[in-house]
Copies of this chain bind each other. A is one copy, B any other.
Amino acid sequence: MTADGGGELALIRLIRDAAYRQHPDLRTGIGDDCAVLAVEPGELLLATTDLLVEDVHFRRRYADPADIGWKSLAVNLSDVASMGGRPRWALVALACPESTDREEIRAFYIAALGLADEHGVAIVGGDTSLSRSGWTVNVSLLGTATRPILRSTASVGDVVVVTGSLGRSRAGLALLEGQEPLPRVEASARAEAIAAHLRPRPRVKEGQWLGATARVTSMIDLSDGLATDLGHVVRESGVGARVHLDRIPVADSTGTIAAALGEDARIWATSGGEDYELLLTCPPAAVPGLADGLRRATGTTLTPVGEIVSGSPGVQFVDARGEPVEVTPGFEHFVTGRSRD
């Protein structure tokens, strides 16, 4: 960090002022050893954390400090959303190189604060450090819920449903990581895919609405890809799942980009990761009401893509004729050695 007397204190004041604006449940925020927070009686506490590392989760070549600030909070918001919870308080820790400009650090925090404000979240603490290499960010997020929706409670016979469309973030990543010459793709499709990758919009309102219906039997967010994340649901629930490849919602822009790059949009949709859509299970009879209600409440679509089946925990993908199709699994840290990029 550039040595510039008052840098950290000025940042602390910026965040402290923003945090106190609208959070009466924040008893003591930035500026003491711990934040002091009041949880309402009857509320359970949700806690999650995510670490984002330069050249593993993003590249500075295309992700600016504001993108990093946004996304590091967004991925945690998505975890709280997937439990049907209300996100409340964030701890934001940043390490960056000595050469980092003060304005870059401000841009990082202002983007995180903007997204936090949008969801009623206070940034109540954090840490700042030098890094001897690139940027590293850790966000821990606390939320509350009266009845959290788990991933371990899917039942045989349930339908598997997803919000929005899948594969868009992977399409954006393909464009960002791509070599010249760039593929000939409409500017709007390009912008949509890149925004999905750099500035994902976590389904917070959707998660809360779905969680409140009492019809959703399990829920998870799609961070690692449908194949991997539904794999978590079936393993934790002790069931199996069958997914119809042709039913997976893929945005036109994603299809266009995949075609221009000679890639398969369905693989992006099942294994690309980082869509931060929600995957949920519910009884078949509940689907029309949930889809209609969610669209009215939030504008977001729900699409049934498969069903929970008995048998050994695993996800089987099938084509339109019901024939099994092999799909590349998403990444898992430490197992495949692959990572989000």
Contacts and interface: CB of A to CB of B under 8 A. Distances in A.
A34 B98 CA distance: 33
Contacts of A46: 34-37
Contacts of A44: 27, 36-38
A333 B129 contact: yes
Contacts of A31: 152, 236
B8 A47 contact: no
B48 A34 contact: yes
Interface stretch (A50-58, A191-199, A267-275, A283-291): A50-58
A7 B221 CA distance: 22
A39 B9 CA distance: 32
B45 A1 contact: no
Nearest to A35: B47
A134 interface: yes
Interface stretch (A119-127, A171-179, A181-189, A305-313): A119-127
Contacts of A151: 32-33
A48 B92 CA distance: 10
B332 A83 contact: no
A11 B334 CA distance: 10
Contacts of A337: 1-3, 98, 130
Interface in A1-36: 1-9, 11, 27-28, 31-36
A220 interface: yes
A48 B36 contact: no
A163 interface: no
Contacts of A41: 41
Contacts of A148: 27-28, 34, 36
Contacts of A105: 334
Interface in A54-88: 54-57, 79-80, 82-83, 85
Given A51-B138, A53-B130, 14 more contacts: A1-B337, A7-B335, A11-B334, A27-B44, A31-B236, A33-B80, A34-B47, A34-B79, A45-B142, A47-B140, A53-B136, A56-B129, A105-B334, A130-B333
Q: When A and B form their complex, which 10 residue pairs have the shortest distance between CB atoms, in order from nearest? A: A133-B133, A138-B138, A140-B140, A3-B337, A8-B334, A34-B46, A49-B91, A7-B334, A51-B93, A33-B79
Interface of A: 1-9, 11, 27-28, 31-39, 41, 44-57, 79-80, 82-83, 85, 89, 91, 93-95, 98, 105, 124-134, 136, 138, 140, 142-143, 145, 148, 150-152, 220-221, 236, 332-337, 339
